Amino acid sequence: MATPSSKLYRNQKPLRDIVGDEIRSRIFSGSFAPGTRLVERELAERFDVSRLPVREALRVLQNEGLVENLPSRGIVVKTLTERDVVELFDIREALEVLAVRLAAARVADNVPNKLRQYVNESQEAISRGELDAAHSANSKFHDEIIALSDNALLQSMLEPLLGRLHWLFRQIPDFERLSSEHDELCSAIEAGEPARAAEAARAHVLSYRRRTLAYLFG
């Protein structure tokens, strides 16, 4: 069923980004499973738009590593291998721990942030059984840490990985444990203690790494 174009055009974002958000959401939810072919014409009909914003959106998603262009099949949703996931976690550990350390230092200088807001939003969504909303709040929590770090080079290094990282954030159904780890990490950052926050971040990434690999690859 096509998404009404009037709904898309009412949004203030460029149409390319709106279409990209729609496709990305379906990838994250599993509606577009790994290996699914994404045909421009079919997507344009689905979203009731021209093929140009679809083509541009697919290019963005390819840069994010969520889709790939295969010579024999065209654009398909990327299947992440165990090695892909391990490498993502290696990079995430190195860069996110740094981001958390920088974020905590800035909070110590009284820089405002929305970390506690997103932790609360996630916990409230979990209590209502609204898992998509919980996923969204958890992703915003990590994005806020990166923004709070105020390091342009770090942000530019993480930007091409964010699509795949957000996909990873959605793989583990253990919301209660994830929420508890985010609460602990948030408290460490709020306290303005970079060393404590970095250690909490490293513990969180390693814990999530173990559970994700076990869940995805046994």
The secondary structure of residue 66, as a DSSP letter, is S
pTM of the model: 0.83
Q: What's the Cα-to-Cα distance from 86 to each of 31, 80, 187, 215, 218, rounded to whole Å?
A: 24, 10, 28, 13, 14
Cα-based angle 21, 159, 23 (whole degrees, multiple of 5): 15
Contact 187, 195 (CB under 8 A): no
- Of residues 28 and 116, more confidence is placed in 116
Q: 76-132, pLDDT tens digit by residue?
A: 999 999 999 999 999 999 999 999 999 999 999 999 999 999 999 999 999 999 988
CA distance 40 to 52: 9
CA distance 66 to 136: 17
